Amino acid sequence: MRNKILLTGCAGFIGSNFLKKIAVPNSEYEFVILDALTYAGHYPTIEADIEANDHLSFVKADIRDSELINRLFKENHFSGVIHFAAESHVDNSIKTPNIFVETNVIGTLNLLNAAKNYGESEIRFCHVSTDEVYGDLTESEPAFNELHKIAPNSPYSASKAGSDLLVRSYYETFKMDTVITRCSNNYGPYQFPEKLIPVMIAKALSGDKLPVYGDGKNIRDWIYVDDHNVGVWLAFTKGIAGEVYNFGGDSEKRNLEVIEKILNALGKSKDLISFVEDRKGHDWRYAMDYSKAQKDLGFEPSVTFEEGLEKTVQWYRDNQEWVNSLNA
């Protein structure tokens, strides 16, 4: 009998790429994909993969529904959980913080309880988090490592920090087999057009103004989504229980530099750039020290930012039908 793994949130950006990169070729496992199909979860992204592979199945469900989650665990005897599902857009968290706490904190608690009470005795719980739980850095400070204090600055990052601490507590209190991954900014195909790179590509293709927060000098470390998902799988299969693993792409870029690269790739004028009022609580810099994952897991990012951005821009140019279907 194949080990059965629950994948939450896999109709969204990172999860759908995990499905294509990791779950589809690993047919020695059975993967159950759970997604609530909110605005950022798009079933057509993964529909063909599920229909073509008998080791994949789909359940529409909301992790906030504890009764449904408990029933799912009772029926399936999962040996592992990889938890991608989350509300993730910082701007939305500033406008409507409650849904972020409900999904990211209470939803994670529901999964932890179900895994503890109804999963296999040695169930592994891999919680996919974010570098934003660490807060921000000045330009002279060293990159975040796993021992850096947690100091979130937005309702989104606070909700993710809360879920991280719950996962840690279930390892410490109940001796659950948990690992936590924290990653820098992802980019690549199938990203919902609200995040920096896809929204700038879409606006540039339409000839619209590209809104840039503040002076555009904030710094982010970028990682191609496939590299991140390789790291998640390494953490799930090789990580030590109770540990945290950082993943980064060694690609620190100012936001304005990223936007200018997109314009250059599309042959568009920099005159499209429009500076707007800065985001509330806008973190200055994120950077990830992933040396622990290199040493313990053999993780190494394989796609440079230039290569990844070229592939991403081309993907959005070739897949306007997918982008348009999000608003259908």
Report the sign of the C-alpha dihedral through residues 271, 277, 279, 281, in that order. Answer: positive
Query: Is 139 an annotated catalytic residue?
Result: no
Confirm if 140 and 287 have CB atoms less than 8 A apart: no
Closest CA to 143 of 134, 130, 154: 134
Helix (H, G, I), strand (E, B) or coil at 246: strand
Structure tokens at 149: 């204090």
Out of 35, 132, 226, 252, the active site residue is 132
| Torsion over CA: 98, 276, 325, 311 (sign) | negative
Q: Is 131 marked active-site?
A: yes
- Judging by DSSP bridges, how do beta strands 252-254 and 219-224 pair with one another? antiparallel
What b-and-e string marks burial along 214-235, b requiring 16 or more CB atoms within 10 Å of the CB? eebebbbbbbbbbbbbbbbbbb
- Local structure of 9: helix, strand or coil: coil
- Residue 82 structure tokens: 């990889």
For residue 152, CA distances in Å to 107, 123, 175, 194, 306 come to 19, 29, 26, 21, 29
Task: Select which of 30, 87, 136, 156 is catalytic.
Answer: 156
* Active-site option among 30, 35, 87, 131: 131
75 as an active site residue: the answer is no
**β-pair type (252-254, 185-187):** unpaired
The contacts of residue 115 (CB under 8 Å, 6+ apart) are 73, 78, 81, 123, 125, 176
Catalytic residue positions? 131-132, 156
